[in-house]
Every structure is written in C-alpha cells, then in structure tokens.
C-alpha cells in the first residue's frame, strides 16, 4: 500500500477540522449562521443544489445523501432526536465528496418508502461486504460534531458573522 493511500484512508482530525474551517469561511461569506443557511451557502459555493427533504426511512436510518446528476438531496427521517446533527452529518458526506446513494431519475416513479428501503438495504450490505463506509461515517460524524460546536459558539457569542470573521483572523 502506498503512503498516500494509507494517509487518505486513515482518520485525520486535521482533515475534518480543515473542512469545518472551510465551511465556516463560506458561511461567513454568505452571512449564514444557522445550519440550514450553511447548507444553502455550501450549495451556492459549489454551484450545485442541495435539497433537504424528509421521509420515512428504514429502521435505524436517520438520514441519507442521495446523489443525482444535477443536485444532492439530503433526506432526513421524519422523527429524529436531533435534526440539525443529522443534517450536519449528511452535509459532511457532501463536503468530503463521499459516495452517495445514486438515485437515477427513473427511480422517482417508485414510492419514497420503497426508495428509502432499497437504498438503506444497499448501504447496509455495502458496509457488511467491505467495511469501506467506516471512514466516511467517521469523517461525517466528526464533521457534524465539530460544525455544530462552532455554530453554537458563533450564535452564543453575539453576531454570528462577526464571530466567524474573528475566528478566521485567529486561524
């Protein structure tokens, strides 16, 4: 195994922190202080829509990133203990460009429940087969925790954007 492959397949808090810093810089540029505003800012910066939808998902599935040729869709389970954390987690998958569940337009004829079931089964089987999603899940979960912490700090210290700019200046 080459050194670069080893580095890219290992857990790196620095990599996640750098991604959170980049997202916070984009958020500051768009005056975004809520998570929904941050998602919109990331979509604008990427010039690729990110839609947020809710649906009944399979057991134990809180959210999914669905990849379409022209957009990403974050699907959140209808009953979540923490909507924002799940949204931040799925945003992490987008930021890190993790492979999403491909959702060709032709599948839109099927019901949302059937699509969610099929995608959750596929994702589960992929995890069982090769464990490749472990790093992606760790990155997305760590990203969500760091981003939510930063957003809480921004919003508890007064004007969020000024705090974002101050944090940028400090590095």
Tell me the average pLDDT across 27-34.
91
pLDDT of residue 20: 95
14 by Cβ neighbours in 10 Å (0-12 / 13-18 / 19+) ranks as exposed
pLDDT of residue 2: 38
Rounded to 5 degrees, φ, ψ at 55 are: -160, 165
pTM of the model: 0.73
Q: Which band of pLDDT confidence, cut at 50, 70 and 90, is reported for residue 154?
A: confident
DSSP string, 112-128: HHHHHHHHHHHHHHHHH
**Largest Cα–Cα distance in the chain?**
50
Tell me the average pLDDT across 123-142.
72
* Whether the predicted pLDDT of 49 surpasses 80: yes
* Rounded-to-integer distance, Cα 115 and Cα 111, Å: 6
* Whether the predicted pLDDT of 80 surpasses 90: no
pLDDT of residue 108: 42
* Rounded-to-integer distance, Cα 167 and Cα 77, Å: 33
* Residue 53: strand pairing partners: 75
* Residue 76: strand pairing partners: 54, 63
* Rounded-to-integer distance, Cα 144 and Cα 160, Å: 18
* Whether the predicted pLDDT of 100 surpasses 90: no
Closest CA to 101 of 76, 78, 120: 120
Q: Where are the beta strands (DSSP E) in 56-146?
A: 63-67, 71-77, 101-102
Tell me the average pLDDT across 69-84.
91
Tell me the average pLDDT across 58-81.
90
* Rounded-to-integer distance, Cα 104 and Cα 29, Å: 33
pLDDT of residue 107: 40
Percentage of the residues of the chain whose pLDDT score is greater than 90? 50
Average pLDDT of the chain is 79
Higher confidence at residue 93 or residue 160? Answer: 93
* Rounded-to-integer distance, Cα 115 and Cα 102, Å: 11
């Amino acid at each position: 195994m080459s050194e670069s492959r080893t580095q890219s397949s290992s857990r790196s808090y620095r990599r996640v922190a750098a991604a959170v810093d980049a997202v916070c810089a984009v958020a500051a540029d768009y005056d975004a202080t809520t998570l929904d505003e941050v998602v919109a800012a990331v979509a604008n910066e990427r010039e690729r829509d990110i839609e947020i939808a809710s649906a009944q998902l399979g057991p134990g599935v809180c959210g999914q990133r669905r990849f379409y040729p022209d957009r990403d869709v974050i699907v959140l389970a209808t009953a979540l203990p923490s909507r924002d954390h799940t949204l931040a987690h799925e945003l992490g998958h987008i930021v890190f460009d993790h492979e999403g569940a491909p959702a060709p337009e032709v599948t839109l004829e099927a019901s949302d429940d059937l699509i969610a079931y099929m995608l959750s089964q596929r994702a589960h089987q992929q995890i069982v087969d090769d464990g490749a999603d472990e790093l992606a899940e760790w990155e997305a979960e760590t990203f969500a925790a760091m981003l939510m912490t930063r957003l809480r700090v921004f919003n508890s210290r007064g004007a969020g954007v000024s705090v974002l700019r101050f944090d940028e200046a400090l590095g």
